């Protein structure tokens, strides 16, 4: 396998096509335009590949839903304000159990915000995002290699659980370049039973999210909930970095986790035993894995490029077993490792 140097947005596109994505619809929005452009350029060379520049993010997600129902591997992408528009369709895909990949290259918010990297969409991503009782699997890559690997894995999980999967990255991840190796994609496993192709000579099928009978809708909700508990049991991913002797552990994901690694390097050079706990799946959140750390570590610092959203999940996970501090830079601000190291160093003095 050859190593290639590519930017994050292009890597997602290439990984998707290699994973067998054959339908992409999207609407331009910064900072993810390179992905839409990559799909426009490369889908036309992929056998049976379809690219549509849609009239809106709403149209894009519904095109993707239709193509998914018709049996294609599908993806759409956008950035924060555009992801808000897609929520109606994501909720609908969750209800109809349609697989599909939604990429959110987050930017500063709320509202139109700005086009700088941010992590303000954590709540939206991990709590379903649209209306109703559902969740989506959320991957938070922190390197370009992970963008490639997790994009491919996302298609497999979307099919396995018949559910939308979100890749949650930010403008920094989308724009930066790193060498990457594309792994061999797995063969697709997805039953024809879930695909609409026309009834042929057989019985016709329908896919719906509307269940007027209360008991039917309640059972459908419980069915989805059972699926989500299987996902929670089987699909959690996280990275633990230098935690063996850690007196203080930083909890961070995505770009923030990269900054944290830089800070940890500086802190350790100065004798401070600091580690990193990095959730790779934000939903399901690695709750038990984080709680297990609290047996030895009594001080945690949650670091996010937001005013504190994952912080809630860390609190729920640690359940008061350890002390939690928070450092955040919302609105598109990206702190340096040195800034974070200073914050941690001040806290570390108290730990000692």
Partner 1 sequence: MAKKVFGRPKSLKDKIFHYCPGCGHSIAHRLIAEVIDELDIRGITIGVPPAGCAVLAYNYLDVDMIEAPHGRGPAMASGIKRTLPDRIVFSYQGDGDLAAIGIAESFHAANRGENISVIFINNAVYGMTGGQMAPTTILNQKTTTSPAGRHKILDGYPVKVSEFFSQLEGVTYIERCMVNSPTNINKTRKAIKKSFQCQMDGMGFSLVEILSPCPTNWKMNPIDSCKWIDEVMSKTFPPGVFKDNTASVKKAAEGAS
The binder of partner 1 chosen from 59, 106, 137, 293 (CB under 8 A): 59
Angle between helices 337-351 and 254-269 (to 10 degrees): 60
Please tell me the distance from the alpha carbon of residue 283 to that of residue 121, in angstroms, as a whole number. 13
Q: Kindly tell me which residue out of 4, 40, 46, 58 binds partner 1, with binding defined by CB under 8 A.
A: 58
As a residue count, the chain comes to 352
For 312, other C-beta atoms within 10 Å of its C-beta total: 15
- Does 67 bind partner 1 (CB under 8 A)? Our answer is yes
Kindly state the smallest distance separating residue 136's Cβ from partner 1, in Å: 16
Q: Does 88 bind partner 1 (CB under 8 A)?
A: yes
Q: In the sheet that 238-241 helps form, which strands lie side by side, from edge to edge?
A: 238-241, 274-279, 248-251, 299-304, 323-328
| 198 touches partner 1 (CB under 8 A) | yes
Interface with partner 1 (CB under 8 A), residue from 12, 16, 17, 23: 23
CB of 100 to partner 1, least distance (A): 10
Considering only residues 209, 262, 308, 331, which one is a binding residue for partner 1 as defined by CB under 8 A? Answer: 209
Among the listed ranges 71-79, 213-221, 289-297, 336-344, the one in contact with partner 1 (CB under 8 A) is 71-79
Rounded to a whole number of angstroms, the minimum distance from the CB of residue 205 to partner 1 is: 5
Select from 318, 270, 316 the least CA-distant residue to 297. Answer: 318
Nearest to partner 1 of 66, 262 (CB atom) = 66
Q: Candidates 56, 234, 270, 336: give the one binding partner 1 (CB under 8 A).
A: 56
Beta carbons within 10 angstroms of residue 108's beta carbon: 24
Cis amide prior to 13 (ω within 30 degrees): no
| Residue 79 DSSP SS3 | coil
User: Could you tell me the smallest distance in angstroms from the CB atom of residue 22 to partner 1?
Assistant: 8
Q: Is the distance from CB of 178 to CB of 12 less than 8 angstroms?
A: no
DSSP string, 265-313: HHHHHTT--EEEEEESEEES--HHHHHHHTTT--EEEEEESSSSSHHHH
Helix axes 57-69, 80-96, angle to 10 degrees: 30
The answer to whether 274 touches 268, Cβ cutoff 8 Å, is: yes
Given the rule CB under 8 A, which of 7-15, 49-57, 222-230, 332-340 is the region that contacts partner 1?
49-57
* Contact stretch for partner 1 (CB under 8 A) within 194-202, 260-268, 276-284, 308-316: 194-202
197 binds partner 1 (CB under 8 A): yes
Report which DSSP code applies to 131: S
Binding piece for partner 1, criterion CB under 8 A, among 55-63, 119-127, 151-159, 284-292? 55-63
Burial of 241 (0-12, 13-18, 19+ CB in 10 A): middle
Strand, coil or helix: 118: coil
Give the binding range for partner 1 (CB under 8 A) out of 89-97, 225-233, 300-308, 339-347: 89-97
**Contact status: 204 vs partner 1 (CB under 8 A):** yes
214 binds partner 1 (CB under 8 A): no
Residue selected from 40, 46, 85, 96 as contacting partner 1 according to rule CB under 8 A? 96
Member of 44, 186, 188, 205 binding partner 1 (CB under 8 A): 205
Please report, as ranges, the residues that interact with partner 1 according to CB under 8 A: 22-23, 25, 50, 52, 54-56, 58-60, 62-72, 74, 88-89, 92, 96, 196-201, 204-210
């Amino acid at each position: 396998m050859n190593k290639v140097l590519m930017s994050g947005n292009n890597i997602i596109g290439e990984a998707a096509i290699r994973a067998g994505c054959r339908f992409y619809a999207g609407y331009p929005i910064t900072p993810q335009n390179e992905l839409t452009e990559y799909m426009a350029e490369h889908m036309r060379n992929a056998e049976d590949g379809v690219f549509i520049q849609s009239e809106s993010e709403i149209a894009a997600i519904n095109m993707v839903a239709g193509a998914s129902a018709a049996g294609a591997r599908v993806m759409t992408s956008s950035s924060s304000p555009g992801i808000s528009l897609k929520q109606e369709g994501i909720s609908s895909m969750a209800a109809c159990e349609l697989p599909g990949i939604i990429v959110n290259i987050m930017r500063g918010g709320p509202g139109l915000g700005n086009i700088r990297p941010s992590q303000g969409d954590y709540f939206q991503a991990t709590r379903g995002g649209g209306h109703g009782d559902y969740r989506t699997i959320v991957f938070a890559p922190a390197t370009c290699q992970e963008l490639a690997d997790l994009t491919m894995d996302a298609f497999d999980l979307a099919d396995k659980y018949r559910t939308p999967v979100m890749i949650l990255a930010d403008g920094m991840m989308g724009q930066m370049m790193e060498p990457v190796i594309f792994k061999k994609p797995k063969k697709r496993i997805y039953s024809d039973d879930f695909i609409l192709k026309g009834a042929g000579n057989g019985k016709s099928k329908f896919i719906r999210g509307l269940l007027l009978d209360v008991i039917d809708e309640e059972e459908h909700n419980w069915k989805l909930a059972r699926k989500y508990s299987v996902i929670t049991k089987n699909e959690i991913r996280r990275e633990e970095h230098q935690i063996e002797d850690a007196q203080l552990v930083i909890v961070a994901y995505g770009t923030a986790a990269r900054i944290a690694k830089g800070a940890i390097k500086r802190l350790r050079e100065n004798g401070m035993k600091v580690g990193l706990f990095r959730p790779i799946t934000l939903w399901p959140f690695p709750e038990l894995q984080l709680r297990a750390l609290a047996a030895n570590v009594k001080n945690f610092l949650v670091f996010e490029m937001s005013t504190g959203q994952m912080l809630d999940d860390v609190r729920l996970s640690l359940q008061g077993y350890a002390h939690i501090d928070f450092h955040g830079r919302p609105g598109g601000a990206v702190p340096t490792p040195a800034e974070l190291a200073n914050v941690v160093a001040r806290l570390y003095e108290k730990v000692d």
